[in-house]
Structure 1
Amino acid sequence: MRIWILNVGEEIPTDPGSPRLLRAAILARELTRRGHQVTWWNSSVNHQQKIQRVARTTSLGVTDGLETVLLWGRLYGSNRSLARIASNFESAAAFLMESRHREVPDIILAGYPTIELAAAALLYSRRHSVPFVVDFRDMWPDIIKDELKGFRRIAAAPLLLLWRMMKKWIVSRSTAVVGVTQGFVDWALGTTGVSAKDVTRVFHLAVDPCQPAPERIEEAESYWTSLGIIDDGSTVILTYAGAFSERYDLDTLVRAACELPKEYKRRLKIVLCGRGDMSVPLRHLAAGQPHIILPGWRSASEIRVLLGRSHIGLLPYRSTKDYVCHFPNKVGEYLSAQLPILTGLTGQTRQLLEERGIGYFYDECSVQAAKQALIAVVDGREALLGMRGKALEAYAELFDPKRIYPEYCRFIERLADPNVA
C-alpha cells in the first residue's frame, strides 16, 4: 500500500544531535517493515531545535520504503507566535501544491495538530476518495484560547473561529478518529458536535527507548561524569528533558529546590535539559545553586545515558485540560528507563502512578508542597530503587511500541483495504 503520514512537529532521523524519534517516525518505520510504501510529510522547520532544514519544499528521497518530504514554512522562534501560525499555513499550502504531482495514496493519516495541514490533507482525500484518519495528539485550538486574556483573546477571535470550523470539518468528514487517550477521542467528538463516529480508536503515545551506538554511549558517559552526574549512592538524581515552556511548571520545582535545607541540597541533583521561552528565567532562578544543573538541549544518546543514571523522572506539566486526559510522551520514556515519576499533574497520569505505586506528587504551583516532595524523594532513596520493577511493568503493559505500533498498523491496513485479515 501507499500510505501518507502528515506530522510536522517531530524530528527526523537526519536531524542533528541523534534526535529522539516519536510517534510518526516509529509508525512510518513499522509500516515500511510490513512492506508498505510510506511518505512522511514533515516541515522544513525543526520544531524542537528551531532551525530551518531546507530552503524550499524538498523530498529527501526514499530509504527502505520511506520517503520524507519537507514542506516549506517560515522559521519561527516561539511556539506561541504569529510566525508559527504563518508557518503552519505555509506548510499546508506547500502540501496542496506538492501533492498534485504525486500518485494517489491508499490512505492518509494526519496528526492533529497542526489544524492547517490536517485540513489540507482532508481536502485532498475528499477530492481523490482516499480514506482519511485524523490522530489527535493535542487540544488545539482550545488550549490556545485558554491562554489568551483580554484584548489578545478579542484580537484572536476570528482565527479561533476559523480553527474551530476547520476542526469540526476534519472530525465530521474523517473516516476514523484516533486519539492518544480515550479522553482525546471524546474531546474531539464532543467539542465539534459529532455525537459518534463509526470508527474510533485509542493508541497511547509510545516511544522507542534510544539504543545509542557504543561510541555515543562513551561520549555521553564522559559528559555527565564531567558535570558530576554520578550515581555513587550518595545523591538522588532527578531528571527532566524537554521544552522549557510556560505551559510547564518548571519554575515551581526550581524555586523549591533553591529553598531546600543545605543537607538536602548536598544529597540531590536536579538536571533540567532543554531550551525554550523559560530558559533565561530558569537560569536566573538557579544561579548559585550547584545542585541544579541546566546543560541545555541534549542529544537522544545523552538523555538515555542520563536516565540510566537517574532515580526519578520529573513531569512538571500544568494540569490543563489537554494534559489532564493525557499520558505525555515523557511518561512512557521515564517508565522505560525504570524511573518513578515526580509530578504536580492531575488526571489520568496521576491516577496511573498512584495505582501502580510509582509516583511522588505535589500541588501545582505550590513551592512548599514541591519542597516537601523533594525531601520525601531524598529520604526515600531506597524506596525509589524498589519502584524500578513496577515502572518497567507499567511501561510494558501500556506504552511499549513493540505492542502498540503493530496494532496501529493493522488498524490502518484494514481501513485502507477491508479485505486485509
Structure 2
Amino acid sequence: MDIVIVAQYLRNIEDFSGNNSRFVYLAKELAKEDQNYLEIITSDFSHGKKQHFKSVGNLSNIKITTCHEPGYSKNVCLKRFASHKKLAKNVEIYLNKRKAPDLIYVAVPSLDVAEVCAAYCERNNVKFVVDIQDLWPEAFRLVFNIPVVSSMIFEPMRRQADRIYKTADRIVAVSKTYADRGKRVNMKCPKPEVVFLGTELETFDLYKGSVKKNREDEILFAYCGTLGHSYDLTSTFDALSILQERGIKYRFVIMGDGPLRNQFVEYARKKGINAEFTGTLNYPDMVRHLCECDIALNPIMHGAAQSIINKHADYVAAGLPIISTQESREFRQLIDDYSMGFNCKNADPKDMAEKMERLIYDEKLRLEMGKNARRCAQERFDRKYTYTKLAKIITSIV
C-alpha cells in the first residue's frame, strides 16, 4: 500500500534519532508491514527555530520529501499565512508529479496544505484521513480577538476547515474536543478516533536514565513547551513570588522557546524568580531535565483552544503531579479521574500558590499523585499501544 503522510510541522528533520514527532512514529509503525510504502512530505522550514533546515536526515524504509516554504519570523503574522499558501502550492505541484497513492494522511494545521491534499484526493479517488492537531482559526483568537473584526477575518478560515473535515474519509484527533469539531461537519465518519499525542514509555524511560533527587529543602517545578501567547507563565511567576514571601525554596526549570521568551525572562527577573530558562532541548535532554523535577506546571491562558497537548504526555510519563490552570474540560476531567494533580482557577496566582504549597509540604500526596500520573501515561498515552491501533485504522481504510 502506498501511504503518504503530509505533516508540515515535523520538528527536527536533520536528525531523526531524537525526533519524537507523532508522524515519524506513525510512519515507522506503518513501515513495519512489508507491503507498505511510506513517504512523509514536510516543509523545509523549522517553525520552532524560524529558519530553514540545512539538511534532511534518513529514516529507514521511509522516504522524506521536503517542499519549500518561504518562512516567517512570528507565529501570528500575515507573512506566516502567505508562507503556508506557498508551501501548499508546492505540495500540490509535487503530488501532481508523483503517482497517485492509495491514501493520504494529513495533519491539520495548517489549513492551506490540508485543503490542497483534500482537493487532490477528491480528484484522484484517493482515500483521505485528517489528523486534527489544533483548532484553527480558534487558536488565533487568543492573540487577535476584536469583536466583529476577528469574526470577519477568521470566517474564511472556519469555512476552509469545514471543507477539509467534510472531505475526510476518516477523522483522527489528539483529543475528543478536536474530534467533535470535525464530526460536526462530516457525514462519512460517524465516530472519529481519538488518539492522544502520547509518547513511547519504553523509550522515554531509556532517556531519563537513573534520576536522583538529592536536593535539600528545594522543590523543582517544571514547564516544557512553547513560550507563547497561549501559556500563562506570568501568573505562574506571580504564584512563585507568593511562595518566596513564605520562605519556600524552589527552582523553576523552563524548557522551550518562543516569541515571548524575552518578555518572560524580564518578568521573572523583575519578580526575583529563581528561574532557569534552558531554551529548546532535544527530546532526550528534555526528558532528563523533566524527570529531575518534582512538580509539573501546566499554565494555560484563559480562552485558549488547547485540549490534550504534547506536554501532557511528557508530564504524566515522568510521573509528576500536575498543577494546571487549563480550562479544557477534557484535561481537567483527566486530572480529576486519575487524581494526578490539582486544577486551579485560571489567572489566579493565589489559588495556584495554595495548590503548589499543598504538594510541597505533603510529600506523601505528591508521590501518590505522581504514581497516578504515571498510571495515566501507561493507560492513555503509551504510543506502543495507542499508535498500533492508529496504524490498523489507516490500513483498514483502503
Partner residue of 2:200 out of 208, 220, 234: 208
Rounded to whole Å, the distance in 2 between the matches of 1:332 and 1:87 is: 30
The separation in 1 between residues aligned to 2:178 and 2:241, in whole angstroms, is: 36
Q: Quote how far apart the aligned CAs of 1:83 are.
A: 1.6
Offset of 1:198 from its aligned partner? 4.5
TM-score by length of 1: 0.86
* Distance across 2 between alignment mates of 1:368 and 1:217: 33
- Residue 345 and residue 231 in structure 1: after superposition, are their counterparts in 2 closer, same or farther (change >3 A)? farther
Distance 1:168 1:251 in 2: 35
Q: Deviations over 1:67-118 (max 9, x none)?
A: 1112211221211111211111111111011112212211111111111111
The alignment covers a number of residue pairs equal to: 395
Q: Does 1:134 align with 2:126?
A: no
**What is the one-letter code of the residue matched to 1:123?**
A
Once superposed, which parts of structure 1, at least 4 consecutive aligned residues long, lie more than 6 Å away? none
| 1:197 Cα deviation after fit | 2.8
Matched, 1:178 2:172: yes
User: Which residue number in structure 1 is paired with residue 4 of structure 2?
Assistant: 4
Instruction: Tell me how large the CA RMSD over aligned residues is.
Output: 2.7
Structure 1 residues 407 and 264, CA gap change in structure 2 (3 angstroms): farther
Q: Distance in 2 between matches of 1:155 and 1:304?
A: 38
Q: What is the CA deviation profile of residues 334-376 of structure 1, one whole-angstrom value per residue up to 9, with x for unaligned ones?
A: 1111111111113111111112111123211112222222222
Q: CA deviation at 1:20?
A: 4.3
Q: Give the 3-state SS of the residue equivalent to 1:238 in structure 2.
A: strand
Gaps of 5+ in 2: none
SS at match of 1:259: helix
> 1:338 and 1:330 mapped to 2: Cα distance?
12
CA contact (8 A) 2:14 2:53 kept: no
Change (3 A) 1:262 1:168: closer
Q: How does 1:18-417 map to 2 (within 5 A)?
A: 19-35=18-34, 36-53=36-53, 60=56, 63-145=59-141, 147-150=143-146, 154=149, 157=152, 160-190=154-184, 192=185, 194=186, 197-198=189-190, 200-209=192-201, 211=203, 231-262=214-245, 264-266=247-249, 268-287=250-269, 289=272, 291-320=274-303, 322-323=305-306, 326-346=307-327, 347-416=329-398
Relative to the length of structure 2, the TM-score reads: 0.90
Q: Is the 8 A contact 2:325 2:346 kept in 1?
A: yes
Q: Aligned partners of 2:202, 2:323: CA distance in 1, in Å?
A: 22
Q: State the SS of the aligned residue for 1:105.
A: coil
Question: Structure 1: which 5+ runs fail to align?
Answer: 222-228, 417-421
Question: Following TM superposition, by how much is the alpha carbon of 1:13 offset from its aligned partner in structure 2, in angstroms?
Answer: 4.7
The alpha carbon displacement at 1:310 in A equals: 1.1
Q: CA deviation at 1:61?
A: 8.0
Q: 1:276 Cα shift? A: 1.3
SS of 1:63 mapped into structure 2: coil
> Aligned partners of 1:97, 1:350: CA distance in 2, in Å?
43
Which residue identity is paired with 2:397?
Answer: L
Identity %: 20
